[in-house]
Amino acid sequence: MQNHEVIPAFEMLLDEMEAVVEGLNQEGAQLLTGGKYDDARALIEKVETINNIRDKVRSLQDEWRKLSVKPGKKPVRKPQQPKPTPTARLGKGLRTPEDAFKLPLLKTLIEMGGAGRVSDVLDRMEKHVQPILTEHDYRPLKSSNEPRWRNTAKWARLVLVQKGYLASDSPRGVWEITVSGRAWAEAQSEEVLSQKRTEKQSVIRFPEKELDPEDRSVALEQIIEVCLEIYHNGRDYNEAIQQVADRRGLKSVHTVADKCTRQLGLNTAEFKALTEDKFRLMKFLIDQFPKDQYYIIEQLGS
């Protein structure tokens, strides 16, 4: 393996491990929804172990880069049987990420009157995502022979269902946007237009990506504190955010409210509705803060 092939190999390995973690997170959310906390804790320990291994792989990748090894002469290999055209998992950064499909998917459903059959939605959606698709997105998957981008869009749809932006009870084979989904899509579109007017970089920022890593723990702590005030002390939402603001010595309750709403991509009514179902709330927070899922279970699982 030549030097220029080593780094992509690291990236493919990291991408594969990331996919495994995502799958375990989804499984953990289902266990939480079913109230199987012991199983969820065991799964979390497994995820933490994988994350530690990923850190070691990243460290090895950095060490390899520092070596600056010159490409060597590629050894002559025996002819191999040609491989099929469909490809499996790609290295990180070669395919368009799921986040990029969320807004186009919602816009497509709005254009279609709010709902549509999966194949029709994807066919119509292609015109919205075509400018961002790469050659790798168009390559067929080995498992289904469908273009990779259509499969990625289906994964994006699952995330939108979890967020409440798409209906979870729509007829089989039909995708349907919710009121919250319409509101979010409109808000994102307005943000993009505003950025263009001010000649700033036109990049769609999705709620779960808005927090800096250093701010995530602070935001999550305040959100958890608000929830505990509601669950354990019987306070309503306004009383809860006031209590947390006072306890932390904050000048305004809006600082706490912002973390429970805007930074989660929710409005006040949506956050209140989320707190009415603790399992759904825990699942939502784990999706937003996957590295802090053990803390979320510990705080809200009792």
Rounded Cα distance, 225 and 222, in Å = 5
Phi, psi (rounded to 5 degrees) for 117: -70, 150
- 284 within 8 A of 260, measured Cβ to Cβ: no
pLDDT at 227: 93
Helical (H) or strand (E) element with 154: helix 148-163
For residue 208 the two structure tokens come to 């779960």
Rounded Cα distance, 173 and 179, in Å = 20
Helix axes of 99-111 and 148-163: crossing angle, nearest 10 degrees? 80
pLDDT at 77: 54
> Is the model's pTM score more than 0.75?
no
More confident position, 295 or 197:
295
CA dihedral 249, 254, 259, 265 (to 10 degrees): 180
For residue 77 the two structure tokens come to 């290999």
pLDDT at 79: 55
The full length of the chain comes to 302
Q: Which residues pair with 101 in a beta bridge?
A: none
Q: Which residues pair with 87 in a beta bridge?
A: 141
Rounded Cα distance, 40 and 4, in Å = 40
Using the predicted structure, report yes or no on whether residue 54 has a pLDDT greater than 90: no
More confident position, 83 or 259:
259
pLDDT digits (tens, 9 = 90+) for 218-266: 889 999 999 999 988 889 999 999 999 998 888 889 999 999 999 999 9
Average pLDDT estimate for 120-144: 84
Helix axes of 179-197 and 99-111: crossing angle, nearest 10 degrees? 110
Residue 159: closest CA among 103, 228, 232: 103
What is the CA angle 269-218-184, rounded to 5? 35
- Predicted confidence band at 80 (pLDDT cuts at 50, 70, 90)? low
User: 204: which residues sit within 8 A by CB, 6+ positions away?
Assistant: 100, 103, 188, 191, 192
For residue 142 the two structure tokens come to 């080995």
**Half-sphere exposure of residue 234: CA atoms within 13 angstroms, side-chain side:** 0
Q: Which stretches does DSSP call E strand in 96-230? A: 115-117, 174-176
pLDDT at 200: 39
- 177 within 8 A of 163, measured Cβ to Cβ: no
Residue 219: closest CA among 192, 251, 196, 248: 248
Rounded Cα distance, 104 and 93, in Å = 20
Residue 225: closest CA among 254, 258, 248, 250: 248
Task: Round the average pLDDT of the chain to a whole number and report it.
Answer: 77
- 109 within 8 A of 177, measured Cβ to Cβ: yes
**Half-sphere exposure of residue 194: CA atoms within 13 angstroms, side-chain side:** 8
pLDDT digits (tens, 9 = 90+) for 116-128: 999 899 999 998 8
Average pLDDT estimate for 160-166: 89
Cα 9 from chain centre: 24
